Structure 1
Amino acid sequence: MNVATVEPVSAELLRRHDVAGPRYTSYPTADRFVEAFGADDYVRALQQRRSGAAALVLPLSLYVHIPFCESLCYYCACNKIITKHHDRAAEYLRYLGREVDLHTAQLGVGQTVTQLHLGGGTPTFLSDAELRELMAMLRRSFNLAPGGEYSIEVDPRTIDARRLDTLAELGFNRLSFGVQDFDPAVQKAVHRVQPAEQVFALVQAARERGFDSVNVDLIYGLPQQTPESFARTIQQVNELRPDRIALYAYAHLPERFKPQRRIAIAELPGAAGKVAMLTDAMARFMGAGYVYVGMDHFALPNDALAVAKRQGRLHRNFQGYSTQPDCDLIGLGVSSIGRIGATYSQNAKTLEEYYDAIDHGRFAVVRGLALSRDDLVRRAVIMALMCQGEVLFESVNLAYLIDFKSYFAPELEAMHELAEQGLVTLDDSGIQVSATGWYFVRAVAMAFDRYLQADRNRARFSKII
């Protein structure tokens, strides 16, 4: 869906949809993974890939999780380990190497990779020598294809122009800078102080070194934020003019994420303030020439993400929006999530468990899911809503040999209610998300989530606004 205008959102809609819900980086969502799916199931999925046509025609995507951070950001919901001891990284790399060996024992050496992402934590916690060791390890085991997307998350406080030279030398062509907010009061409230001048200098240095794309992460809904203060940050980001912008809503779940208990609830903006920030940010970004790619993302028109959106090739995976809809994804490292065929899997969330599994010569997968036929159909519908903002009945009918209107009769009843609220339009050909509905696209997708409709306990999720 291409949102051309930014429409006001009524207080009634805000109250009605101020509920918790998934972000749908996958369907079924990761909270539905079960411990009954383990390392043996993962091995079978890898073997099926190697013996099937996918190994010949579908490239791989790699995600490597580096969990270490030197300091704690109070808003963080990532799996991380706060430490000043950089020697812990050397041990972690040894175990990553052994995990890679487990994969090549199943898939063989030289599987083509067209997408690599280093996330965390703080991947730039690793020294230059350790980053070289990691990339050499991956290149020995996989064929990193020319022209692929090779990205790394960067904490601006841990890097300088010299380190950017190292990243370019190692083949990274995309950078993602964690900015969140430029306002000093907000930075202090979340324990992440980094001057705007530092970020501007790094982005300029990245451009001089020829990186294909620079992304900036922002968060709205943080403590001390107001629509006025966040508007100043948006203006600065427009002046910075990164190739991509990821704009996330802060999810305050202190019962799940201990660092968030340091945030004073009274300092958080309410739903109306958050929507005002989102509305203003969307208008300012699109006014500055950015394409509204999807729920979280904006991109300049010539960026690969915007091109994929125009061409209908956009997908959403565990790292957010992606240009590669059919990639199997191998997750390496503690807590990493992967997708192989019609399965999802996740590694152990603690170093102790992760190391123990590798020491016993087995994958560290501790939970996952083998998708049913119903899961696959519903995933297609939910991802079409999240990525294209529309579902065409005929395309789903042909792909999955169903009659959409009878298969999803209860869901279509819910769509009629959403249509009355102005969130979608519905006709004989399909469902289209409206401009206003895009604020609530998670609510539209939730109507097709069989697990969520059966289990109304949504306390595990963030609010959708």
Structure 2
Amino acid sequence: MGNFYCVAFKMNELEAERLALFKGLGFNAIEFIFAPNESLNAEALRYCSSLAQGFNFQHFGIQLQSLPISPSDIMNQALQEIGRKPDSIVFTPVNKSTATDSTGFQKLFWSLTELGYEVLGNDHFVSPESPLASAQKRNHLLRNSLGYNCQNVSDSLGLGPGNASAIGNLRSTNPDALDKYLVHDFDQYTIESTHPHIKQAINQLLCHHQLDLSYFKQRYQLDLAQLLNSLISRMHFDPNHSLFEIKDNILTLTTFGILQLTALCMGLHQQFSQTSFNHQP
């Protein structure tokens, strides 16, 4: 399985010379970013597809920063008309209220799974043939601040103005302005205080839609199934739909659970933050 080196462009940044430059530098994957004021339609997707094909990028993805007005109709029409479909579609709403509301993700879920895409976490959709889908099936999928990868990469280094770095539990963001970036003290960083058991539980849900209950019981004396059931009862989910199933101490989210994954992760984080646990090294 080859490595992917991805470059992302906003739609108003697309120039043939820039794409050729990054392709010449060895980037073999490209992502097109649709800002909230840029409409997703068949014409725009055909254009992105032709650029990815013309510059011979092995991987072609799109990022949606807002939900299309009629995602089902648009995605069906657009994806069936273009020659090369995106290998990945990522939903990263810039509106904070939309980001914490799973309604947009749920609409995209039904539209894109009907078209054959598989879901990663609560914001990524990938083709079944993609390396990310294969890594998820083999439990080799990792997630960092830049998204999912199948290359065992947990850290990210931000180069250039406005980019962020996440190395271990250290976090830093470069200044947006070039003049401030050129004189920036790169020794400045913050330390993420999130406890390891919180990150591990949420990462397992986001990467695999599963939880290894035995691991958390042995490592942290934590009964995640009981905690989840308590959380679900307080969040007033539809009682006619189960959010997960348990077999051989592996908790697996149902389709309804995946659709409610944003709320579950937020609830778990809040619950964990209010609870003390013993840690066995």
TM-score, normalised by the number of residues in structure 2: 0.77
- Matched with 2:171 is 345
- Other structure's SS at 1:171 match: coil
- Matched with 2:277 is none
**Residues 1:310 and 1:293: Cα distance change in structure 2 (over 3 Å):** same
- Matched with 1:204 is 50
Per-residue deviation at 1:412? 5.3
Per-residue deviation at 1:231? 2.9
Alignment of 1:369-408 (within 5 A): 369=191, 371=193, 375-397=195-217, 401-405=219-223
- The 2-side partners of 1:231 and 1:371 are apart by 40
Contact 1:354/1:364 (8 A) holds in 2: no
1:303 paired to 2:122: no
Q: Which amino acid aligns with 1:369?
A: I
- Matched with 1:235 is 76
- The 2-side partners of 1:364 and 1:392 are apart by 37
Contact 1:393/1:429 (8 A) holds in 2: yes
- The 1-side partners of 2:111 and 2:159 are apart by 38
- Matched with 2:12 is 157
- The 1-side partners of 2:268 and 2:256 are apart by 19
**Residues 1:247 and 1:377: Cα distance change in structure 2 (over 3 Å):** same
1:447 paired to 2:274: no
Per-residue deviation at 1:344? 2.3
1:429 to 235, 249, 256: 249
Return the index of the structure with the highest Cα Rg.
1
- Matched with 1:363 is 186
**Residues 1:393 and 1:326: Cα distance change in structure 2 (over 3 Å):** farther
**Residues 1:248 and 1:236: Cα distance change in structure 2 (over 3 Å):** farther
Contact 2:89/2:124 (8 A) holds in 1: yes
**Residues 1:348 and 1:301: Cα distance change in structure 2 (over 3 Å):** closer
- The 2-side partners of 1:314 and 1:232 are apart by 31
- Matched with 1:286 is 113
Task: Give the count of matched residue pairs.
Answer: 265
- The 2-side partners of 1:432 and 1:417 are apart by 20
- Matched with 1:318 is 145
Per-residue deviation at 1:170? 1.5
- The 1-side partners of 2:140 and 2:59 are apart by 18
Per-residue deviation at 1:196? 5.0
> Runs of 5+ in structure 2 lacking a partner?
275-281
- The 1-side partners of 2:187 and 2:197 are apart by 29
**Residues 1:337 and 1:451: Cα distance change in structure 2 (over 3 Å):** farther
Per-residue deviation at 1:326? 4.6
Q: Deviations over 1:413-461 (max 9, x none)?
A: 325556874352365824332211222212212233158854xxxxxxx
Contact 1:314/1:325 (8 A) holds in 2: yes
- The 1-side partners of 2:226 and 2:28 are apart by 46
**Residues 1:219 and 1:385: Cα distance change in structure 2 (over 3 Å):** same
Q: Which amino acid aligns with 2:191?
A: L
- Other structure's SS at 1:148 match: coil
Identity of aligned residues (%): 19
- The 1-side partners of 2:263 and 2:209 are apart by 12
By relative contact order (CA 8 Å, sep 6+), the higher-ranking structure is 1
- The 1-side partners of 2:129 and 2:54 are apart by 18
- Matched with 1:247 is 91
**Residues 1:176 and 1:326: Cα distance change in structure 2 (over 3 Å):** closer
**Residues 1:347 and 1:166: Cα distance change in structure 2 (over 3 Å):** closer
Q: Which amino acid aligns with 2:60?
A: V
- The 1-side partners of 2:17 and 2:42 are apart by 19
- Other structure's SS at 1:332 match: coil
**Residues 1:423 and 1:349: Cα distance change in structure 2 (over 3 Å):** farther
- The 2-side partners of 1:171 and 1:163 are apart by 13
Contact 1:425/1:434 (8 A) holds in 2: yes
- Other structure's SS at 2:172 match: strand
> Runs of 5+ in structure 1 lacking a partner?
1-145, 181-189, 254-267, 455-465
